[in-house]
């Protein structure tokens, strides 16, 4: 039961993270949802799968995949943001009410 | 400052434990092949797996405990930040700004971990690093003041990382 | 069986939502972000299938796929960065 609760939480995070990619206006804001919601969703989903499986050799491998995803996700976001910044993409700003 | 042989043996054990987890059999042939290739890879890569002048404290056990505590704090903060981002996705209430903050951590590994934590947590991503200045894109900027923004963004991560790395 | 179907269907639907950004994204970096997201979705689908169908071999495939996806994202973003490497 706890396992399915975690899995449901992860699916909600992943769904809204993808929705944010479609709704937000520019690269950096899209990168925000893609890095944060994706990492949190991955943690919740894979922890739910580990709880459902129980502690054995298979869940140890899932733990390795989880650590790998957590290490690489911010690095990939950082690389994309840095290359966009070097090529001179300006961040989107809210229009001030005057 | 670590000796060469200590670094080599440590790298070998890390690689060998990875081999044991990934291959998952204990027959002698498999163990022999794993040990051989772990030794080969350790000889090639121990020099940049553990740097000779890595700015860690000398007590390894204490460092590992602090890292575990840090990971749990990070996961908790990450869930809070994700709920915040989901709220902003639904309402589209955003105010993005790029701010520059300064960090006090000196070691390279510490700065990398700080940048990754900033990317994962409170609605911010690190865009670029110059020395000890970090350019940070903030999804909902509450302030653009230099010191105040740094206080809000770094939060308690810098305190914990400062206890782990110098 | 139903839980498996629901999990894999939701992950597949989100991956195809991200496909919208791959096709219509105005700049190359938008497409890159969407491709990164799809690749992590595929890894999660493989892990879910490995646990729920009891196929252990999928986990190794997922690990290798995650590594290849990460390296390709880094390589493509370095390529898009261009030639002005004097900015250091």
Number of structural domains found in chain B: 2
**pTM of the complete model:** 0.82
CB pairs under 8 A between A and C: 116
Mean pLDDT is lowest, of A19-23, B54-58, B100-104, C80-84, for B54-58
The pairs formed by A33-36 with CB atoms below 8 angstroms and a separation of 24 or more are: A33/B85, A33/B89, A34/A77, A34/C33, A34/C36, A34/C37, A35/A73, A35/A74, A35/A77, A35/B119, A35/B120, A35/B125, A36/B78, A36/B81, A36/B82, A36/B85, A36/B120, A36/B121, A36/B123
Domain co-membership, B20 together with B39: yes
Domain co-membership, B90 together with B124: yes
Domain co-membership, B21 together with B70: no
Domain co-membership, B75 together with B154: yes
Q: Is B55 a domain residue?
A: no
Domain co-membership, B80 together with B111: yes
In this predicted structure, what is the pLDDT of residue C88?
47
The pairs formed by B148-155 with CB atoms below 8 angstroms and a separation of 24 or more are: B149/B99, B149/B101, B150/B101, B150/B102, B152/B122, B153/B99, B153/B101, B153/B118, B153/B122, B153/B124, B154/B101, B154/B103, B154/B114, B154/B118, B155/B77, B155/B121, B155/B122
Domain co-membership, B110 together with B41: no
- State the pLDDT confidence band at B52, using cuts at 50, 70 and 90: low
Question: Domain coordinates of chain A in residue numbers?
Answer: 2-86
Domain co-membership, B103 together with B31: no
Task: Read off the pLDDT of each residue in C5-15 and give the average, rounded to a whole number.
Answer: 86
A-chain residue closest to B75, CA distance = A40
**CA distance, residue B83 to nearest chain A CA (Å):** 8
- State the pLDDT confidence band at A96, using cuts at 50, 70 and 90: low
Q: Is B152 a domain residue?
A: yes
The neighbouring-strand residues paired with B125 are B137
Please answer yes or no on whether B94 and A81 come within 8 Å at the CB atom. no
Domain co-membership, B31 together with B65: no
Task: Read off the pLDDT of each residue in B69-81 and give the average, rounded to a whole number.
Answer: 83
Domain co-membership, B111 together with B150: yes
Of C36, C70, C84, the CB nearest to A34: C36
Kindly state whether B111 is in contact with chain A, defined as any CB-CB distance less than 8 angstroms. no
Kindly state whether A84 is in contact with chain C, defined as any CB-CB distance less than 8 angstroms. yes
Domain co-membership, B66 together with B22: no
Q: Which residues of C touch A19 (CB under 8 A)?
A: 17
Q: Which helix (H) or strand (E) holds B125?
A: strand B124-130
Of A30, A62, A80, the CB nearest to C59: A62
In this predicted structure, what is the pLDDT of residue B121?
75
Is B99 in a helix, a strand, or coil? strand
Nearest to C26 by CA among B119, B95, A34, A21: A21
Domain co-membership, B26 together with B94: no
Q: Which DSSP category does A56 fall into?
A: S
Percentage of chain A exceeding pLDDT 90? 0
What is the extent of the structural domain holding B72?
60-164
Domain co-membership, B45 together with B65: no
């Amino acid at each position: 039961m706890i396992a399915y609760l975690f899995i449901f939480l992860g699916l909600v995070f992943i769904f809204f993270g993808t929705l944010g990619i479609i709704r937000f206006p520019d690269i950096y804001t899209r990168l925000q949802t893609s890095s944060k919601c994706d990492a949190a969703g991955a943690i919740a989903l894979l922890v739910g799968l580990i709880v459902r499986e129980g502690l054995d050799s298979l869940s140890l491998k899932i733990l390795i995949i989880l650590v790998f995803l957590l290490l690489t996700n911010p690095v990939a976001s950082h690389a994309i943001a840095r290359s966009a910044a070097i090529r001179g993409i300006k961040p989107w700003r809210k229009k001030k009410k005057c | 400052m670590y000796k060469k042989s200590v670094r080599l043996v440590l790298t070998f054990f890390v690689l060998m434990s990875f081999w044991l987890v990934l291959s998952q059999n204990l027959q002698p042939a498999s163990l022999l092949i794993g040990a051989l290739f772990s030794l080969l890879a350790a000889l090639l890569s121990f020099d940049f797996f553990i740097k000779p002048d890595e700015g860690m404290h000398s007590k390894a056990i204490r460092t590992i405990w602090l890292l575990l505590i840090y990971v749990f704090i990070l996961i908790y903060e990450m869930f809070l930040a994700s709920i915040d981002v989901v709220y902003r996705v639904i309402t589209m209430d955003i105010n993005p700004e790029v701010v520059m903050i300064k960090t006090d951590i000196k070691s390279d590994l510490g700065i990398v971990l700080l940048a990754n934590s900033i990317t994962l947590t409170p609605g911010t991503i690190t865009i670029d690093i110059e020395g000890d200045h970090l350019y940070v894109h903030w999804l909902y900027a509450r302030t653009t003041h230099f010191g105040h923004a740094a206080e809000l963004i770094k939060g308690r991560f810098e305190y914990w990382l400062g206890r782990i790395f110098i | 069986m139903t839980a498996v179907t629901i999990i894999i269907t939701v992950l597949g639907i989100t991956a195809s939502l991200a496909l919208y950004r791959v096709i219509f994204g105005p700049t190359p970096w938008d497409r890159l972000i969407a491709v990164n997201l799809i690749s992590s979705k595929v890894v999660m689908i493989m892990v879910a299938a490995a646990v729920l169908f009891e196929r252990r071999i999928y986990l190794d495939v997922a690990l290798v796929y995650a590594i290849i996806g990460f390296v390709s994202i880094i390589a493509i973003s370095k390529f898009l960065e261009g030639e002005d490497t004097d900015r250091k």
